[in-house]
Amino acid sequence: MSISQTFPQSGNAIIDRHHAELSRLVSRLSHAWIMDQDMDTFKTAINLFISQLQDHFETEISIIRSAGFAGWERHESDHNFIIRQMTKLADTPGEDFMYQFIDEAERTVFEHELLGDQEYWAVLDQSPVDVLISWDDSLLVHDEAIDKHHLALVNLLNRLYNSLSDNMDQTVFLDGFMQIYGFTKIHFEHEENQLGKVSPAIAQAHIRDHARLLAELRRTIERFRKEPSMEDARVLMRDFVRFWLTDHIIVYDKPFFDQQG
């Protein structure tokens, strides 16, 4: 039985998909070791695993924080500890290095994703989905241009989500989502330019955060093009986009713009 088959559902399809991808990467590490591949090949697989693990952790925090999980800071601290431990092990190869790293990677995936993540399952199960994103004062950053952009994004997402149906033409959904993707890029560039005038450091952090979202959306779009499914469309919007957008506004945008006011 593969690792991915043993994972229970978390209540969020994007998180579950990440778990399955991580388990496949662990299997790839094991395959590289069993086939006695050279160290460069193994190190490449290690770097990919750590990179994917970090991306997953960041996405997971955005989702559970926005969903209202009170223990997100402790969970994020656990993530940081795991990344430090995995990176340290990767940087200090020695005797039985490959076996030790695979063992640690497998233990990390099992213990954290199966045990630690159970803390937030109930929160995700209770997340409302009738309205994708409800606009209220909590999402205001009190910058007229940025608030207009955010409201436009919320309206576009709600409109597309409410139009989803099993018999919806998949091309229509893809066209609609590409319009949202294009507007998101324009908004991000505007936001980054505005932040850069005040704080280059904050602007750079935003650029990294924006790049991660756009990469996730591009991957999802490409996956949808190859295997079109309206259920995947619902999953994308319900289990990732709504959490990421509200989390980004409240946690990253709002504190900065509030200070400027």
d(CA 25, CA 47): 11
Q: Which residue has the higher pLDDT, 1 or 23?
A: 23
Give the count of alpha carbons within 13 A of 19, CB side only: 25
d(CA 60, CA 42): 27
d(CA 128, CA 96): 48
Give the count of alpha carbons within 13 A of 156, CB side only: 19
Q: Is the pLDDT of residue 140 over 90?
A: yes
Q: Is the pLDDT of residue 160 over 90?
A: no
pLDDT averaged over every residue in the chain: 82
Average pLDDT rounded to a whole number, residues 81-105: 81
Identify the three-state secondary structure at position 227.
Answer: coil
d(CA 121, CA 9): 9
Q: Which residue has the higher pLDDT, 8 or 46?
A: 46
DSSP states along 72-97: HHHHHHHHHHHHHHHHHHHHS--TTH
What pLDDT is stored for residue 84 in this prediction? 92
Q: Please answer whether residues 229 and 166 qualify as being in contact, where contact means their C-beta atoms are separated by less than 8 angstroms.
A: no
- pLDDT band at residue 1, thresholds of 50, 70 and 90? very low
d(CA 158, CA 152): 10
Q: Is the pLDDT of residue 5 over 60?
A: no
For residue 40, what are the contacts with CB-CB under 8 A and spacing of at least 6? none
Q: Is the pLDDT of residue 128 over 60?
A: no
Q: Please answer whether residues 2 and 106 qualify as being in contact, where contact means their C-beta atoms are separated by less than 8 angstroms.
A: no
What pLDDT is stored for residue 4 in this prediction? 39
Q: What is the pLDDT of residues 185-241, one digit of tens each?
A: 888 888 888 888 888 888 888 888 888 888 877 887 887 788 877 787 888 788 888
What pLDDT is stored for residue 61 in this prediction? 92
Could you give the angle at the alpha carbon of 248 between the alpha carbons of 242 and 249, nearest 5°?
Answer: 95
Q: What is the pLDDT of residues 33-48, one digit of tens each?
A: 777 667 777 788 888 8
Identify the three-state secondary structure at position 127.
Answer: coil
What pLDDT is stored for residue 129 in this prediction? 59
d(CA 192, CA 201): 11
Q: Please answer whether residues 212 and 55 qualify as being in contact, where contact means their C-beta atoms are separated by less than 8 angstroms.
A: yes
Q: Taking Cα atoms as reference points, which of 122, 47, 112 lies closest to residue 75?
A: 112
- pLDDT band at residue 81, thresholds of 50, 70 and 90? very high
What pLDDT is stored for residue 127 in this prediction? 55
Q: Is the pLDDT of residue 73 over 80?
A: yes
Q: Is the pLDDT of residue 21 over 60?
A: yes
Q: Please answer whether residues 160 and 176 qualify as being in contact, where contact means their C-beta atoms are separated by less than 8 angstroms.
A: yes
- pLDDT band at residue 166, thresholds of 50, 70 and 90? low
Q: Taking Cα atoms as reference points, which of 243, 248, 236, 129 lies closest to residue 178?
A: 236
